[in-house]
Amino acid sequence: MRLVLLGPPGAGKGTQAGQLSKVWSIPHVATGDIFRANVREGTELGRRAKQYMDRGDLVPDEVVIAMVMDRITESDCADGFILDGFPRTVAQAEALDRRLRRPSVPQEPLDAALNFEITEEELFRRLVTRAEKEHRSDDAEEIVRHRLEVYHANTKPLVDYYERQGVLVVVDGMGSIDEVNRRIRDSLEERVTSP
């Protein structure tokens, strides 16, 4: 199963990806988590990414693309992966497509791009709760607003991109974690016979 998860920050992608990764025993590759780990460890990648993350801007494509392409080439991704927070731009989506189509790499195309839909009101409610719990420096209100603008400008076009490819699956992201999880599994089971 090769999935990408789309949707604004706070839509529940990380929570759902974590659960699905356990159910299907495939890695949950969350670019934001990888960057935060690198910032904590003080690596060169972390130093490069931090300035963008603190402002709520996107880390430059070439940095993110190189990181994700390396990660999905690791052996644990051979049978599938869940990409959470990548792609976030059309250039990133095109780089992923090129990689998955490369004949030398035994990777299959994407099974689905899940787009989490959620009202703006619910997003803010969740992000405020997350800011209280996780103390993420980019969950401050103005930064959240900026991240939503960045999402609308750069990432939203990916909904059409994947719709044109026929892999878009719309997920109603409102409701409890279990309800959303059930919806995702039901809609994927309709599409894919064996995960």
Which residues are part of the catalytic machinery? 13, 88, 130, 136, 147
Q: Which of 3, 20, 58, 144 binds ligand AMP (CB under 6 A)?
A: 58
The reply to whether 72 sits near ligand AMP by the rule CB under 6 A is no
Q: Which residues contact 26 (CB under 8 A, 6 or more apart)?
A: 1, 77, 79, 80, 81, 82
Q: Cα separation of 193 and 61, whole Å?
A: 34
Q: Which of residues 143-182 bind ligand AMP (CB under 6 A)?
A: 147
From residue 154, alpha-carbon distances to 28, 158, 162 in Å are 23, 8, 14
* Residue span 102-141 as binding mask against ligand AMP, x where in contact by CB under 6 A, dash where not: ------------------------------------x---
The one segment of 15-23, 55-63, 168-176, 183-191 that binds ligand AMP by CB under 6 A: 55-63
The reply to whether 53 sits near ligand AMP by the rule CB under 6 A is yes
The H or E element containing residue 2 is: strand 2-6
Distance of CA 90 to the CA centre of its chain: 14
Q: Using CB under 6 A, count the residues that bind ligand AMP.
A: 17
Q: Cα separation of 144 and 103, whole Å?
A: 40
From residue 178, alpha-carbon distances to 19, 73, 107, 112, 128 in Å are 10, 31, 30, 20, 21
Q: Which of 8, 27, 32, 80 binds ligand AMP (CB under 6 A)?
A: 32
Footprint of ligand AMP (CB under 6 A): 9, 31-32, 35, 52-53, 56-59, 64, 85-86, 88, 92, 138, 147
